[in-house]
């Protein structure tokens, strides 16, 4: 995989539109999402946590868990779900690949806050690292494997992910982080088959 000299010259990564994103805030929504997600062979995976701004302050996240198929992303608002059983079943399934970037903190926080111990996880940041010191980020992987430019707003990244009402910008940001991971995973698998 070679990253382009100037990713700004690449066409933009389109990602999902709002119609392809579902907020999961109740048990009926979690059950419906589980049926869709368990029918997939692989998922894009990420989490979002409300940022901390005070040195030494522990994160209370994750607040949002994103799981994406090729055409849809489910955003689980874990603080507003009374029951995490359906989310736990998907995340702990060892036979369902969940691909994402830099998942170490995500996995620790899920275990600590939600008692969810993920299985079938593939950390693309480690898998695609160009050298032993530097892990690969989603923007560089999207440029190198998909030939697209992915925009990531720091302003949106540092918003309040614990809020009950997420903005459309937050939902698109979160969904496309997970969706891009799945697209990169698919491109990597296709490259391995050559």
Domain range annotation of the chain:
7-188
Residue 34's pLDDT is what?
98
Residue 8's pLDDT is what?
76
pLDDT in tens, 91-106: 999 999 999 999 999 9
Please state, in angstroms and rounded to a whole number, the distance separating the CA atoms of residues 114 and 111: 6
Residue 7's pLDDT is what?
67
| Range list of β-strands (E), 110-156 | 121-123
Residue 121: strand, helix, or coil: strand
Class of domain 7-188: alpha beta
Residue 51's pLDDT is what?
78
Please state, in angstroms and rounded to a whole number, the distance separating the CA atoms of residues 99 and 153: 22
| Range list of β-strands (E), 25-88 | 42-48, 64-68, 73-77
Q: Which residues pair with 42 in a beta bridge?
A: 97
Residue 5's pLDDT is what?
52
Q: How far, in whole angstroms, is CA 141 from its chain's centroid?
A: 14
For the packed helices 85-92 and 104-114, what is the interaxial angle rounded to 10 degrees?
140
Question: What is the chain's mean pLDDT, rounded?
Answer: 91
The H or E element containing residue 30 is helix 27-38
Write down the number of H helices and E strands in the chain. Answer: 7, 6
Residue 57's pLDDT is what?
64
| Phi-psi map region of 40: left, alpha, beta (phi>0 left; psi -120 to 50 alpha) | beta
Please state, in angstroms and rounded to a whole number, the distance separating the CA atoms of residues 123 and 23: 24
Q: Which parts of the chain sit beneath pLDDT 50?
A: none
Residue 157's pLDDT is what?
85
Residue 136's pLDDT is what?
83
Largest CA distance in the chain: 49
Residue 131's pLDDT is what?
67
Please state, in angstroms and rounded to a whole number, the distance separating the CA atoms of residues 42 and 192: 16
Please state, in angstroms and rounded to a whole number, the distance separating the CA atoms of residues 141 and 63: 25
Residue 121's pLDDT is what?
98
């Amino acid at each position: 995989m070679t990253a382009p000299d100037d990713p700004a010259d690449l066409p933009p990564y389109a990602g999902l539109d709002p119609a392809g994103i579902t907020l999961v805030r109740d048990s009926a929504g979690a059950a419906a999402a589980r049926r869709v997600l368990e029918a997939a062979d692989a998922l894009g995976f990420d989490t979002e946590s409300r940022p901390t701004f005070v040195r030494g302050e522990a994160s209370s996240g994750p607040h949002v868990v994103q799981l994406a198929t090729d055409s849809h992303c489910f955003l689980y608002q874990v603080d507003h779900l009374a029951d995490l059983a359906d989310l736990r079943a998907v995340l702990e399934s060892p036979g369902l690949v969940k691909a994402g970037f830099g998942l170490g903190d995500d996995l620790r926080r899920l275990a600590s806050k939600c008692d969810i111990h993920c299985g079938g996880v593939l950390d693309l940041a480690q898998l695609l690292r160009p050298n032993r010191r530097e892990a690969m980020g989603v923007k560089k992987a999207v440029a190198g494997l998909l030939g697209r430019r992915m925009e990531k707003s720091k302003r949106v990244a540092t918003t309040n992910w614990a809020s009950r009402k997420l903005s459309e910008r937050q939902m698109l940001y979160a969904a496309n982080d997970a969706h891009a991971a799945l697209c990169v995973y698919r491109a990597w698998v296709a490259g391995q088959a050559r």
